[in-house]
Amino acid sequence: MSNKPKESGVEYAELKYKDKVIKLPIVIGTEGEVGIDIAELRKTTGMVTVDPSFLNTAVCYSKITYVDGENGILHYRGVSVDELVKNHRFVETAYLLLRGKLPKADQSKRFSKLLNEHSLLHEDMRHFFDRFPRAAHPMQIMSTMFDALSTFYPNVDALSMREDIDICAARLISTFRTMAAFAYKRSIGEPVVYPRSDLPYCANFLHMMFSSPVNPYEINPEVVKILNTLLILHADHEQNCSTTAVRTVGSAQVNLYSTISAGISALSGPLHGGANQAVIDMLKRIVKDGDVKKYIDKAKDKNSSFRLMGFGHRVYKTFDPRAVIIKKACHDFLATMNINDPLLEVAMHLEEVALKDDYFVSRNLYPNVDFYSGIIYRAIGIPENMFTVMFALARMPGWIAHWKEMISSQTKITRPRQIYVGKTMKHEK
């Protein structure tokens, strides 16, 4: 069933070309966003619209997440992220994204049980981890492993998913966590640690990451709390690059696991989820150099490809609400854990200088979700090459929710047009 809102029938935008006036229907979203529906334009005029990198294109109608980039507002299914961080856990947020409503106590319990039941990876797949080079980046391992999941569960297509979406979503969310911890353990040459059914989601992840046969990890509720906060804030962000990859690949009716694998690959890029690792690399270099200004100047220099990592956003033209929450949480968490990280001081200095600099002010460049998150991950003990994996772990419910929405509301394969500007065909005389 299409998610398209009813057209008012009276509001149109008019497009004038040569001697023709074309009427284009106006669509209005529930938060008042106004769009021009151009879907029939080519059929009626032969013309297409051109918008490389989708700077101005809404690719779907969605009921999942709302972002107001001008006012710094973010909500999932009508519930603000502040409210979710204050009063809910990641697993409840995942349920909200997938089902549209926050779970009642018994529903939450059942969902957590389902996650536990599907937390084990097929044992044959565990051996795959032994064959990657030790230095392999965990994001590449994760996308490969997810694609490999489709060979174990080959029938997870749009049709079968309608029947067992809950099990499948649970398997995706839960096994990603198990695989992420396995990839880490493998990278440090330790035996993998299996999930425990008595532990809730975040605590279970910390157990798999940090327990060893000689040293069981003692679960700290403060660490569990901050992990819940970070995962909630990364759980969805409407039509970002990786979600668009998921919706696009999924529209060809590709197996869900392979579809998610495409999302993981998209997220790994430094302009997207990979930015959280790049921020820490940058902050470390600044600490070593002791010269914030040099990096600000480099970011402004049009002859340099350097960018201030963790700054700027396609949608937010003010503070990213996630960054605001994470910055405060970062301060509080480091104070609680009695950790003094010099990177936090440099990050704050960098932010202060950038926010007074006309280059950043005039372009509306503010810290984004990735600017402070890595400092928290460091404090938890998560290594830098796992930061983007943490982002992917959090984004899993969002990707699945979008896939689910896409297969139930969109019947056509995603297939943009282009304007050809290459050589014209030579005709033999």
- Could you tell me which stretch among 90-98, 132-140, 177-185, 306-314 binds ligand CMC (CB under 6 A)? 306-314
H or E stretch covering 401: helix 387-409
Question: Residue 275, interface with ligand CMC (CB under 6 A)?
Answer: yes
Q: Is 271 in the site for ligand CMC (CB under 6 A)?
A: yes
3-state secondary structure of 27: strand
Q: Which stretch binds ligand CMC (CB under 6 A): 288-296, 305-313, 324-332, 338-346?
A: 305-313
Residue closest to 403 by CA, chosen among 113, 106, 38, 146:
146
Copy the structure tokens of residue 108.
Answer: 């939450």
CA atoms within 13 A on the CB side of 83: 12
145, 179 contact by CB (below 8 A): yes
Shortest separation between residue 242's beta carbon and ligand CMC, angstroms = 8
Convert residues 350-369 into a mask of x (bound to ligand CMC by CB under 6 A) and - (unbound). -------------x-x--xx
Residue from 299, 325, 379, 380 binding ligand CMC (CB under 6 A): 299
> Site for ligand CMC (CB under 6 A): which residue of 226, 280, 308, 350?
308
Q: Is 370 a catalytic residue?
A: yes
d(CA 397, CA 233): 12
Residue tagged active-site, from 88, 234, 313, 402: 313
- By CB under 6 A, name the one of 116, 178, 240, 243 that touches ligand CMC: 240
The active-site residue, picked from 147, 236, 320, 370, is 370
Residue of this chain nearest to ligand CMC (CB atom): 312
Does 377 engage in binding with ligand CMC (CB under 6 A)? no
Judged by CB under 6 A, the stretch of 114-122, 256-264, 270-278, 417-425 that binds ligand CMC is: 270-278
Q: Is 124 a catalytic residue?
A: no
Q: Choose between 119 and 351: whose C-beta lies nearer to ligand CMC.
A: 351
Compute the least distance from the CB of residue 270 to ligand CMC, in Å.
6
Instruction: Choose between 103 and 367: whose C-beta lies nearer to ligand CMC.
Output: 367
Give the list of residues 6+ apart from residue 257 with CB closer than 8 angstroms, or none: 146, 147, 149, 150, 153, 156, 172
Applying CB under 6 A, which of residues 138, 195, 250, 310 lies at the interface with ligand CMC?
310
* Tokens of residue 245, six digits: 């990859």
Is there binding between residue 398 and ligand CMC (CB under 6 A)?
A: no
Q: Number of C-alpha atoms within 13 angstroms, CB side, residue 403? A: 33
Distance between CA atoms of 371 and 344, rounded to whole angstroms?
A: 10
233 membership: H or E segment, kind and range: helix 221-234
Work out whether strand 79-80 and strand 65-68 pair parallel, antiparallel, or are unpaired.
Answer: unpaired
Cα separation, 291 vs 293, in Å, equals 6
Q: What whole-number distance in Å separates Cα of residue 330 and Cα of residue 374?
A: 9
Helix (H, G, I), strand (E, B) or coil at 16: strand
Distance of CA 410 to the CA centre of its chain: 21
- What's the closest the beta carbon of residue 267 comes to ligand CMC, in angstroms? 7
- 209 touches ligand CMC (CB under 6 A): no
Residues of the shown chain interacting with ligand CMC in the complex, contacts defined by CB under 6 A: 237, 240, 271-273, 275, 299, 307-314, 363, 365, 368-370
* Residues forming the active site: 313, 370
